Copies of this chain bind each other. A is one copy, B any other.
Amino acid sequence: VFRGFDLAATGLFAVGGARLGAEADLDLFGVLVVAFVSALGGGILRDVLVGDLPPAAFRSVSYELAAVAGAGIVIVWYQLVREIPSGVITPLDAAALGLFCATGTAKGLDVGTNHTLAALLGMITAVGGGVIRDLLLNRVPQVLRVEIYAVAAVVGAAAMVVAVRLEVPRARAMAVGAAVCFTVRMVSVGLDWNLPRVRGA
């Protein structure tokens, strides 16, 4: 079940990435690469940082297939995909964010880095793919500029770490982290929250 969720999250991030790639007028290969990077980049970054190499995404072909499937959907049905309202996309994306945040934090706890850094690793897993995607598309990563997105991942990861400290079983702690991340993200979109800019302070 867990693996199924993970692959679904990978596919969802690939759809989002492929959409942005197509909008940036990339060719077929470029759209595929951006989809891959969006879907697998965060996990690869996490595995590089903890030294678990080759990264999980390079050991099993199923993650690549999930990413290709996500990109394929956009390539084949681009006109349809671009008309999906954000009311559908935002919750799906928030769910994938929550899941990646939980798996990343779990890996951080496994390699025995301390708890603060495990939460940092969870956040990197969740937003890393989007950051590399934005670098490839030659723009300042969205996550640095607007909305409550990475902060949702940090809060979710912190909630999971607290749950683990309280000796909640691992699977349940991951569910807590993912749920908190999802909730913070959805509430912040609903209420149109943004972090303050430092310049204006």
Contacts and interface: CB of A to CB of B under 8 A. Distances in A.
Interface of A: 18, 21-31, 33-34, 44, 48-51, 53-55, 58-59, 61, 64, 74-75, 78, 111, 113-114, 116-117, 120-121, 131, 135-141, 143-146, 150-151, 194-199, 201
Given A34-B144, A53-B51, A116 B27 contact: no
Interface of A is mostly: helix
Contact of A114 (B21, B55, B61, B136): B61
A27 B194 contact: yes
Given A27-B146, A27-B194, A49-B44, A54 B199 contact: no
A121 B74 CA distance: 25
A49 B18 CA distance: 23
B113 A145 contact: no
A58 B21 contact: no
A141 B145 contact: no
A75 B138 CA distance: 27
Given A49-B44, A198-B75, A199-B23, A144 B58 contact: no
B78 A121 contact: no
B58 A120 contact: yes
Contacts of A145: 25-27, 30
A143 B29 contact: yes
A26 B58 contact: no
Contacts of A30: 141, 143-145
Contact of A25 (B23, B64, B199): B199
A139 B26 CA distance: 13
B27 A113 contact: no
Contacts of A111: 54
A24 B140 contact: yes
Contacts of A141: 30, 136
The residue in A78, A120, A198 that gathers the most chain B C-beta atoms within 10 A of its C-beta is A198
